[in-house]
A = this chain, B = another copy of it.
Amino acid sequence: MAVEHEAAEAPGGSRGQPVEGHGAPSGSGPFLKVFEGAAQALADLHSGAVVMSGGFGLCGIPECSIAELLRRGVRDLTLISNNIGNRGKGLAQLLKSGQVRHAICSYVGGNPDLEAQFFAGELTLELVPQGTFAERIRAGGAGIRAFYTPTGVGTVAAEGKEVRAFDRPCLLETGLRADFALVKAQRGDAYGNLWFKESARNFSPLMATAATVTIAEVEELVPLGALPAEDIHCPGIFVQRIYQGSHYENAIEYPILRSP
């Protein structure tokens, strides 16, 4: 039945039900998606929420939205992000402040806060091969309930999973969804169309498709029509709220320069 259907459930995640007058602030512009800033856009992001965050290491992370989570102090978050921050920055700040209960990620080298909390039993962790991580998010957003992939067969990543032989053995992996997705793009418009700079794109367009509410922050909010229609990396249909951020640090872990 198409009137209301749930998409694939995330572990611990849920596709929200329509809620009327539930306190979410209204945006402005023809699509009511443009918000003043992080405080307004994230006002209803509650403790216990399942939150996806774009970024590879510190590249392309939603800096302003993360700062707002830190400021508001929402707790018991489930974070779905490739690295959960790096070198104490990005989402790693939420680890330090004890706001994270569970993390789903792929690579956490260079994240001593996560390591310490994990070994201390302060948070639980699901490590997912990076390609499977990306594909599960894409599936969650695309209404694909599950898929068979050869990645991880014969490793700990296969533990507890159905194995099925095609041309080679494959694991059954399920779609992944979240309550909120926080993404950052270089440019965006009032409909939520997004354009990412260089390799800052990574997981963000996928995560935008897989959350009940996707909140995009952009360095430049541009007029409708300013982004070439062929070159929009994430169509606004996937974005519910957008705001222009500021004071971007755009940190780079290893700024190695050419030898002279």
Taking beta carbons and an 8 Å cutoff, which residues of A are in contact with B? 5-9, 135, 139, 142-150, 166-168, 170, 174, 195-198, 201, 228-231, 233
Q: Is the CB of A167 within 8 A of B197?
A: no
Residues of B within 8 A of A8 (CB): 166-167
Q: Is the CB of A167 within 8 A of B7?
A: yes
3 nearest A-B residue pairs (beta carbon): A145-B166, A231-B231, A147-B147
Q: Which residue of chain B is the closest to A196 with respect to CB atoms?
A: B230
The binding surface of chain A is classed by DSSP as loop
Q: Which residue of chain B is the closest to A7 with respect to CB atoms?
A: B167
Q: Is the CB of B196 within 8 A of A9?
A: no
Count copies of this chain in the complex: 2
A143 to B166 Cα, complex, angstroms: 11
Q: A143 with B150: in contact, given A7-B167, A198-B229 (CB under 8 Å)?
A: yes
Residues of B within 8 A of A139 (CB): 147
Q: Is the CB of B149 within 8 A of A143?
A: yes
Would you give the shortest CB distance from A150 to chain B, in whole angstroms? Answer: 7
A147 to B228 Cα, complex, angstroms: 33
Q: A167 with B6: in contact, given A148-B144, A149-B144 (CB under 8 Å)?
A: yes
From the candidates B168, B170, B197, name the one contacting A230 in the complex (CB within 8 A). B197
Residues of B within 8 A of A148 (CB): 144-147
Can you add 11 more A-B contacts, CB < 8 Å, to A166-B174, A198-B229? A6-B168, A8-B167, A9-B167, A135-B144, A144-B148, A145-B150, A145-B170, A146-B170, A195-B230, A196-B230, A230-B231
Q: Is the CB of A5 within 8 A of B168?
A: yes
A201 to B168 Cα, complex, angstroms: 32
Residues of B within 8 A of A149 (CB): 143-145
Would you give the shortest CB distance from A81 to chain B, in whole angstroms? Answer: 22
Q: Which residue of chain B is the closest to A167 with respect to CB atoms?
A: B6
Residues of B within 8 A of A197 (CB): 230
